[in-house]
């Protein structure tokens, strides 16, 4: 009886609602295409405006360390290094902490504590970056002076650490890295948490039944299951850290041409340079800044594409495992 | 329990959001805020009655403008007084920097722009509206501000300033500083050089001073050249905006930096007397800035550079701002409003400039500028 009713309703479906279906299809295709068109137009307009600087500098734009507007030398090498260096410092701090928090929330914390913790972590993610930047300048940079001096004097004579902890300044790669790490912790944590939660209960119970301690269970069942997802989470954090503008601009110290492993030295990153320099730029400098933006755009796209594919692959693999 | 916890969280979120906006407006975003909210000073009727002695004007126009942040305080004061007397006129001055102002005028999206430097010859063809007129507005000193405990007064020559800012002199009791300051007890403190992290006309004028005084053509002590951004040594510190530099100097014992006069006064900083072209050490004062403008060579189009000007009383690091407009106005109402505003700034504006820490133009220059108002072509 019920099936017959369904069949009766079918002709209705192919009437007006089918037209609606078609319309919906085109609207959604259009919406999807607009995204691609906008992306393409942005790339085109930006790339087309980089002409003057590439005519002036040529490929040297990517290999030149100096950024010297009075002398019309525009090189992105130190800026690319600054962007990468601060992002690596940020991940170095953020990844262990994020994985720790995610493990605590999913495997250790009592049930009543989980929701408030997740809530607080998500709240951290909505704080505007300028707030982090101001806090970095007005609070962190002032109070961290002692620690920086201690790091420098303690490790000065050590072989590798001596060059990593060189002459200290309060607005530096490390200060920017610390601020960035606070900003990417919520992102990495929430992704890591979701990845950890996909571990099948049966595998965890199996490990515990074999006499594994909690840590052995995490190492033997949770980690192998989540490896791909974690890599993806870290890469997304990296993309966020590399694109951050204002918080870095305020804390990195804005020193030009810095190619150094000294985390306590001031430097500059691509996005922070663009915001700082745009206001008073003449035609050539504007073109150079746009070229920096295009470079950053390409790098972040590559990182995000890699991250997404890693995550996709890990999802497929874990589906297969279930 | 959970309910109240939620509420606390919500409260915290709102507080954070509010802090965010507050911080945003106190920082460089100051300029953007101005666009959105600020200078829209349409007159309140009661002030019109109180302040105007002249007959009520029949001007009616909305003028959009952008450019120099250096001149912003003066323009805001001028605009609020002008619109009080001309209730039909609304003026939005968006700041954003001299470079943005020139670009906006070139693209014809503003009625006038404020700029601290002249338009480069190669950029002139991009000005779609044709010939541009320069109207000098005000001048003001850029201070060399310092924070050294126990030191109240300093005198510095361009050579010493150049060496300090290139980190060739690194201690306050260096012989070069001591020689210029007999009788001052200088401590053994390290010098912390503070400069702008954002590109800026203030950096442009400060480096222009060093370049003219001791640059490549004058002994080659200053080697960083001149521009809105230069390659500072990594052993210096950067901060955003004049306010940011002032704040960092105030917070650091042993710091020295260049800050515009109004911000240095606001932050309560001490600043040095700087040796001028005539060899005299001159304090950064509004009188010194006016004297510098009087000593500058003014071209026919009213452009000049008050930096490193002639004259015993001239303060050598003096910056200037022009209001630039198109000679051929395209809109009658707007053209008349711009002309009236310029006339107001060049006459009455010169008397209240000092109240907002700007120096008036020398009388001769102001007269020339007022005469140039007749060159503006307004369609009938």
For residue B212, give the nearest of B115, B294, B68, B318 by alpha carbon.
B318
The pLDDT of B303-319, averaged and rounded, is 93
Mean pLDDT check: name the lowest of A112-126, A167-181, B124-138, B286-300.
Answer: A112-126
B273 and B155 part of one domain: yes
Answer yes or no: is A24 within a domain: no
The pLDDT assigned to B11 comes to 44
The pLDDT assigned to B16 comes to 44
d(CA B4, CA A67): 54
Interface test with A, best of B231, B232, B245, B252 (most A CBs within 10 A): B231
The pLDDT of A75-101, averaged and rounded, is 95
The pLDDT of A65-70, averaged and rounded, is 90
The continuous run of DSSP H or E covering B62 comes out as strand B61-67
What average pLDDT does the structure give for chain A?
Answer: 87
Neighbours of A57 (CB within 10 A): 21
Q: Do B12 and A169 touch (CB under 8 A)?
A: no
Answer yes or no: is B190 within a domain: yes
The runs of H, that is alpha helices, within B125-258 are: 158-165, 175-180, 201-214, 241-251
| Count of domains observed in chain B | 2
Q: Which two tokens stand for residue B147?
A: 């924070």
Over 60: is that where the pLDDT of B44 sits? no
B227 and B279 part of one domain: yes
d(CA A71, CA A54): 16
Mean pLDDT check: name the lowest of A238-242, A307-311, B108-112.
Answer: A307-311
Answer yes or no: is A263 within a domain: yes
Summarised one tens digit per residue, pLDDT across range B197-234 is 988 889 999 999 999 999 988 889 999 999 889 999 98
DSSP annotation of B252: S
Q: How far is B117 from chain A (nearest CA, A)?
A: 10
For residue B120, give the nearest of A286, A74, A56 by alpha carbon.
A286
Q: What is the domain extent for residue B111?
A: 10-139+321-375
Q: Which two tokens stand for residue B180?
A: 């210029």
Over 70: is that where the pLDDT of B39 sits? no
Answer yes or no: is A37 within a domain: no
C-beta contacts of A286-289 below 8 A and 24+ residues apart: A286/A49, A287/A49, A287/A50, A287/A51, A287/A52, A287/A53, A288/A53, A288/A57, A288/A61, A288/A74
CB contacts of A255 in chain B (<8 Å) are 232-234, 236, 238
Over 80: is that where the pLDDT of B57 sits? no
The pLDDT of B251-260, averaged and rounded, is 94
DSSP-assigned states of every residue in A105-121: IIIIS-HHHHHHHHHHH
What average pLDDT does the structure give for chain B?
Answer: 85
Q: What is the domain extent for residue A181?
A: 75-318
Interface test with B, best of A70, A256, A274 (most B CBs within 10 A): A70
CATH number where B127 lies: 3.40.190.10
Which residues numbered 101-140 in B keep a CB inside 8 Å of some CB on A?
A: 120, 122-123
Q: Do A281 and B99 touch (CB under 8 A)?
A: yes
The answer to whether B287 and B359 are in contact (CB under 8 A) is yes
CB contacts of B224 in chain A (<8 Å) are 70
d(CA B101, CA A315): 52
Answer yes or no: is B162 within a domain: yes
The answer to whether B107 and B127 are in contact (CB under 8 A) is no
For residue B111, give the nearest of B352, B304, B298, B325 by alpha carbon.
B325
B134 and B152 part of one domain: no
For residue A247, give the nearest of A143, A158, A140, A128 by alpha carbon.
A128
Mean pLDDT check: name the lowest of A313-317, B181-185, B194-198.
Answer: A313-317
B134 and B157 part of one domain: no
The pLDDT assigned to A278 comes to 85
3-state secondary structure of B185: coil
Q: Do A171 and B123 touch (CB under 8 A)?
A: no
For residue B258, give the nearest of B269, B266, B169 by alpha carbon.
B269
Answer yes or no: is A118 within a domain: yes
For residue B331, give the nearest of B137, B132, B129, B66 by alpha carbon.
B129
Q: Which two tokens stand for residue B318?
A: 């003096």
d(CA B251, CA A264): 20
Q: Do A67 and B231 touch (CB under 8 A)?
A: yes
Over 50: is that where the pLDDT of B235 sits? yes
The continuous run of DSSP H or E covering A89 comes out as helix A77-103
The answer to whether A244 and A129 are in contact (CB under 8 A) is yes
Q: Nearest by CB to B198, from A71, A266, A279: name it.
A: A279
The pLDDT of B116-144, averaged and rounded, is 92
Output helix, strand, coil percentages for chain A, rounded to the nearest 5: 80, 0, 20
Confidence of residue A142 (pLDDT cuts 50, 70, 90): confident
B67 and B148 part of one domain: no
CATH number where A140 lies: 1.10.3720.10
B119 and B244 part of one domain: no
Confidence of residue A70 (pLDDT cuts 50, 70, 90): confident
The pLDDT assigned to A310 comes to 80
Q: Which two tokens stand for residue B198?
A: 């954002």
The answer to whether B315 and B283 are in contact (CB under 8 A) is yes
CA dist list (Å): A13 to A4, A6, A19, A31, B88: 15, 10, 9, 25, 62
Q: Nearest by CB to B197, from A67, A68, A276: name it.
A: A276
B126 and B159 part of one domain: no
The helix-helix angle for B363-372 and B332-346 (nearest 10°) equals 170
Over 50: is that where the pLDDT of B27 sits? no
Confidence of residue A61 (pLDDT cuts 50, 70, 90): very high
The pLDDT assigned to A13 comes to 53
The pLDDT of A59-81, averaged and rounded, is 92
Answer yes or no: is A301 within a domain: yes
Q: Which two tokens stand for residue B364?
A: 């001769």
Summarised one tens digit per residue, pLDDT across range B154-170 is 999 999 999 999 999 99
Answer yes or no: is B109 within a domain: yes
Q: Nearest by CB to A277, from B199, B226, B238: name it.
A: B199
B147 and B266 part of one domain: yes
Confidence of residue A12 (pLDDT cuts 50, 70, 90): low
The pLDDT of A230-239, averaged and rounded, is 89
Q: Which two tokens stand for residue A35?
A: 């995204």
Over 60: is that where the pLDDT of B377 sits? yes
The pLDDT of A176-196, averaged and rounded, is 92
3-state secondary structure of B137: strand
Question: Which has the higher per-residue pLDDT, A7 or B195?
Answer: B195
The pLDDT assigned to B216 comes to 86
Which residues numbered 216-275 in B keep a CB inside 8 Å of some CB on A?
A: 224-240, 251
Over 70: is that where the pLDDT of B8 sits? no
CB contacts of B19 in chain A (<8 Å) are 131
Answer yes or no: is B314 within a domain: no
Q: Which two tokens stand for residue B293?
A: 């403008």
Of all residues in chain B, what percent carry a pLDDT higher than 90?
68
Neighbours of B23 (CB within 10 A): 17
Q: Chain-centre distance of CA A51, in angstroms?
A: 29
The answer for residues whose C-beta is within 8 angstroms of residue A211's C-beta and 6 or more apart is none
The pLDDT assigned to A14 comes to 54
Over 70: is that where the pLDDT of A97 sits? yes
A-B Cβ pairs (cutoff 8 Å, strict): 111
Instruction: Please check whether residue B197 touches A, CB under 8 A.
Output: yes
Q: Which chain B residue is nearest to residue A67, measuring alpha carbons?
A: B231
Q: Which two tokens stand for residue A134?
A: 């101001």
B271 and B345 part of one domain: no
B70 and B19 part of one domain: yes
Mean pLDDT check: name the lowest of A221-235, B30-44, B207-221, B336-350.
Answer: B30-44
3-state secondary structure of B147: strand
Maximum C-alpha span of chain A: 88
Answer yes or no: is B306 within a domain: no
Summarised one tens digit per residue, pLDDT across range A17-33 is 788 888 999 999 999 99
Per the document, the length of chain A is 322
B133 and B145 part of one domain: no
Over 50: is that where the pLDDT of B55 sits? no
The pLDDT of A176-199, averaged and rounded, is 92
Phi and psi torsions of B22, nearest 5° = -60, -50
DSSP-assigned states of every residue in A168-224: --SSSHHHHHHHHHHHHHHHHHHHHHHHHHTS-HHHHHHHHHTT--HHHHIIIIIHH
| Count of domains observed in chain A | 1
Of all residues in chain A, what percent carry a pLDDT higher than 90?
45
Q: Do A275 and B225 touch (CB under 8 A)?
A: no
Summarised one tens digit per residue, pLDDT across range A246-287 is 999 999 988 998 999 999 999 999 999 999 888 778 788 889
Mean pLDDT check: name the lowest of A201-205, B46-50, B269-273, B291-295.
Answer: B46-50
B146 and B286 part of one domain: yes
CB contacts of A134 in chain B (<8 Å) are 23, 27
């Amino acid at each position: 009886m019920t099936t017959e009713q369904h069949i009766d309703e079918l002709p209705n479906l192919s009437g007006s609602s089918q037209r609606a279906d078609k319309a919906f299809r085109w609207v959604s295709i259009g919406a999807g295409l607009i995204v691609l068109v906008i992306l393409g137009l942005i790339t085109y307009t930006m790339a087309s405006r980089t002409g003057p600087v590439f005519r002036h500098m040529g490929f040297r734009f990517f290999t030149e360390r100096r950024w010297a507007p009075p002398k019309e030398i525009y090189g992105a090498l130190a800026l690319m290094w600054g962007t990468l260096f601060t992002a690596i410092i940020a991940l170095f701090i953020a990844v262990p902490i994020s994985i720790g928090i995610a493990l605590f929330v999913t495997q250790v914390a009592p049930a009543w504590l989980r929701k408030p913790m997740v809530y607080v972590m998500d709240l951290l993610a909505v704080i505007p970056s300028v707030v982090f930047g101001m806090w970095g300048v007005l609070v962190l940079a002032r109070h961290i002076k002692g620690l920086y001096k201690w790091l420098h004097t303690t490790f000065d004579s050590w072989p590798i650490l001596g060059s990593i902890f060189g002459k200290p300044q309060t607005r530096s790669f490390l200060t920017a890295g610390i601020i960035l790490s606070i900003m990417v912790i919520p992102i990495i944590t929430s992704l890591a948490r979701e990845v950890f939660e996909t571990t099948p209960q049966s595998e965890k119970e199996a490990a515990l039944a074999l006499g594994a301690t909690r840590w052995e269970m995490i190492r033997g069942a949770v980690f192998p299951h989540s490896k791909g997802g974690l890599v993806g989470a870290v890469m997304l954090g990296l993309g966020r850290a590399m694109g951050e503008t204002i918080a870095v601009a305020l804390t990195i110290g804005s020193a030009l041409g810095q190619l150094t492993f000294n985390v306590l030295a001031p430097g500059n990153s691509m996005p922070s340079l663009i915001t700082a320099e745009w206001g008073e730029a003449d035609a050539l400098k504007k073109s150079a800044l746009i070229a920096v933006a295009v470079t950053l755009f390409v790098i972040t796209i590559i990182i995000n594409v890699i991250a997404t594919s890693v995550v996709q692959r890990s999802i497929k693999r874990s589906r297969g495992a279930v | 329990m959970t309910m109240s916890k939620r509420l606390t969280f919500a409260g915290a979120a709102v507080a954070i959001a509010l802090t965010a906006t507050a911080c945003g407006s106190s920082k460089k975003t100051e300029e953007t805020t101005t666009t959105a909210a600020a200078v829209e000073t349409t007159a309140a009727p009661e002030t019109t009655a109180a302040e105007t002695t002249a007959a009520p004007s029949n001007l009616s126009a909305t003028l959009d403008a952008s450019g120099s942040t250096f001149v912003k305080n003066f323009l805001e004061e001028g605009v609020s007084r002008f619109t009080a007397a001309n209730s039909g006129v609304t003026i939005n001055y968006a700041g954003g920097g001299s470079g943005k102002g020139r670009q906006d005028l070139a693209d014809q999206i503003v009625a006038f722009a404020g700029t601290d430097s002249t338009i480069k010859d190669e950029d002139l063809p991009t000005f779609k509206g044709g010939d541009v007129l320069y109207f000098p507005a005000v001048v003001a000193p850029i201070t060399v501000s310092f924070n050294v405990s126990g030191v109240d007064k300093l005198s510095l020559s361009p050579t010493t300033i150049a060496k300090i800012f290139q980190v060739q002199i690194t201690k306050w009791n260096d012989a070069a500083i001591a020689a210029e300051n007999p009788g001052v007890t200088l401590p053994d403190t390290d010098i912390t050089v503070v400069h702008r992290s954002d590109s800026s006309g203030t950096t442009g004028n400060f480096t222009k001073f060093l370049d003219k005084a001791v640059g490549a053509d004058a002994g080659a002590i200053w080697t960083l050249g001149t521009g809105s951004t230069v390659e500072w040594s990594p052993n210096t510190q950067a901060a955003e905006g004049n306010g940011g530099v002032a704040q960092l100097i105030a917070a650091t014992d042993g710091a020295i930096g260049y800050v515009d006069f109004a911000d240095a006064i606001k932050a309560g900083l001490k600043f040095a007397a700087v040796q001028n072209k005539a060899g005299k050490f001159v304090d950064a004062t509004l009188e010194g800035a006016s004297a510098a403008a009087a000593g500058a060579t003014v071209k026919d189009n009213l452009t000049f550079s008050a930096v490193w000007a002639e004259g015993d009383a001239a303060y050598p690091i003096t910056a200037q701002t022009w209001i630039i407009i198109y000679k051929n106005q395209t809109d009658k109402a707007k053209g008349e409003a711009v002309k009236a505003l310029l006339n107001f700034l060049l006459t009455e504006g010169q008397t209240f400039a000092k109240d907002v820490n700007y120096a008036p133009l020398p009388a001769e220059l102001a007269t020339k500028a007022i005469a140039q108002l007749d060159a503006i072509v307004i369609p009938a």
